Amino acid sequence: MTSTRTAAIDRYAPDETPVAIDLADNTNRWGSPPAALRVLRDTAPGAIARYPDAYSTSLKAALAAYTGVEASAIAIGCGSDDLLDAALRAFADPGDRIAIPVPTFSMMTTFARLNALEPALIPLDASFDVDVDAVVAARPRLVYLCSPNNPTGTLLPRATIEAVLERTGAVVILDEAYAEFSGVSAIDLVARSPRLLVARTLSKAFGMAGLRVGYAVGAPTLVRELEKARGPYKVSAASERAAVAAVTEDLGWMRAHAELAVGNRERLAVEMRRRDVDVISSAANFLLAPVADAHTFARRLRAIGVAVRAFSGLDGTALALAATRGSALRITVGPWPEMESLLAAFDRVRAACE
Ligand SMILES: *Cc1c(COP(=O)(O)O)cnc(C)c1O
């Protein structure tokens, strides 16, 4: 009854039981932009009986001003997940190969399988950079890059992105879900490369994960094909209005809280290293902390009120991860009192393990 594609994957199953401090999904621990909340409160009930704008024209205009590109170079999606998934249908055919440097956002491998593509998983090198020779050797139709990368938090050098574009004929999907925390973006490369698509989201720095809004920036010809593969009416009217308000009125709110996240991330890194945990230097709003037996550790943390994301068997050749054979905790950075609670819980669990 089921397709071989869905039969081959698991349903996404995050632990959704309530927890006092949830540092597991990299969303904004300071909340949401006030202008977005105001718009949601004020949205007229009459607006809800109608379909939204098919491709979110007013949000494109707002994001054009924010990113500095033309509105015709922007596609909007139901979260950036929607656009990452649609890109696989727009720019590759069943059986084609997609190169995915790992470890990275695991949904990408799932989307590849759902779209009948063949993922070529290519380990990141010892400095968390992409092995461009291996990507070229895979002869991919598509390449997925993520910078800052989830779950390592590491940035890709701009030269790596350029080399992948120059040395392959592939469409390159660059996931910049955490760009606001790094202050770095390759969106300007879109003007030079008709094969680069940059995916962004309002789920992280903009604090709107529950509204499901993402966008992608690329050459207008690329964006057209992406919108065909995505389909119309993917973003609700309420989400679009709230997103427009956030992007036009509340950039100050977003930037101030991204800055707080960066400051607390560095403070947390110092505290973790003081505990002999060799956290990886991060450019995002989370830290990857190599810890033995991460799943057990995370279960014990959760039992005392703090959720983090556990990973095991993370691929790659980086020394920091080799020491625990790819076992690590990914910790979302939030307000400092939450970080203090996390550290206290971490110390309790570690003491109980010894
Ligand atoms: C969180 C995240 C996303 C965002 O997904 P949305 O569907 O926009 O909520 C995309 N890519 C990466 C790497 C992420 O970590």
The one-character DSSP state at 155 is P
CA of 353 to the centre of ligand 1 (A): 33
Residue from 27, 28, 81 to probe ligand 1 pocket by mutation (most atoms less than 8 Å from CB) = 81
Write down the pLDDT at residue 326: 92
User: Using only C-alpha atoms, what is the Rg of the chain?
Assistant: 20
Q: Nearest C-alpha to atom 3 of ligand 1 is from which residue?
A: 177
CA of 2 to the centre of ligand 1 (A): 27
Residue from 32, 105, 286 to probe ligand 1 pocket by mutation (most atoms less than 8 Å from CB) = 105
From first to last of the 354 residues of the chain, give the pLDDT tens digit. Answer: 889 999 888 898 888 889 999 999 999 999 999 999 999 999 877 778 899 999 999 999 999 999 999 999 999 999 999 999 999 999 999 999 999 999 999 999 999 999 999 999 999 998 999 999 999 999 999 999 999 999 999 999 999 999 999 999 999 999 999 999 999 999 999 999 999 999 999 999 999 999 999 999 999 999 999 999 999 999 999 999 999 999 999 999 999 999 999 999 999 999 999 999 999 999 999 999 999 999 999 999 999 999 999 999 886 667 678 889 899 999 999 999 999 999 999 999 999 876
Residue pair 111/85 in contact (Cβ under 8 Å)? The answer is yes
Residue from 104, 108, 146, 204 to probe ligand 1 pocket by mutation (most atoms less than 8 Å from CB) = 204
Residue from 175, 180, 217, 234 to probe ligand 1 pocket by mutation (most atoms less than 8 Å from CB) = 175
Residue pair 332/209 in contact (Cβ under 8 Å)? The answer is no
Write down the pLDDT at residue 322: 85
CA of 148 to the centre of ligand 1 (A): 11
Phi, psi of 285 (to 5 degrees): -100, 30
Phi, psi of 168 (to 5 degrees): -125, 160
Residue pair 345/305 in contact (Cβ under 8 Å)? The answer is yes
CA of 201 to the centre of ligand 1 (A): 6
CB atoms within 10 A of CB 94: 10
Q: What is the pTM of this model?
A: 0.97
Write down the pLDDT at residue 45: 75
196-201 and 214-217 beta bridge pairing = antiparallel
CA of 351 to the centre of ligand 1 (A): 34
CA of 94 to the centre of ligand 1 (A): 24
CA of 339 to the centre of ligand 1 (A): 23
Cα–Cα distance between 29 and 207 in angstroms, integer?
A: 8
Write down the pLDDT at residue 190: 98
Looking at the CA of residue 80, tell me the nearest atom of ligand 1: 8
Provide the residue type at 276 as one letter. D
Q: Kindly write down the DSSP assignment for every residue of 314-347, as one continuous string.
A: --S--HHHHTTTT-EEEEE---HHHHHHHHHHHH
For residue 54, give both structure tokens: 């098919």
CA of 175 to the centre of ligand 1 (A): 8
Cis before 94 (ω within 30):
no
| The Cα angle at residue 218 between residues 80 and 72, in degrees rounded to 5 | 100
CA of 203 to the centre of ligand 1 (A): 7
Residue from 201, 239, 333 to probe ligand 1 pocket by mutation (most atoms less than 8 Å from CB) = 201
Instruction: Please list every protein residue whose CB sits less than 6 Å from any atom of ligand 1.
Output: 26, 79-81, 105, 146, 150, 175, 177, 201, 203-204, 209, 214
Q: Nearest C-alpha to atom 10 of ligand 1 is from which residue?
A: 177
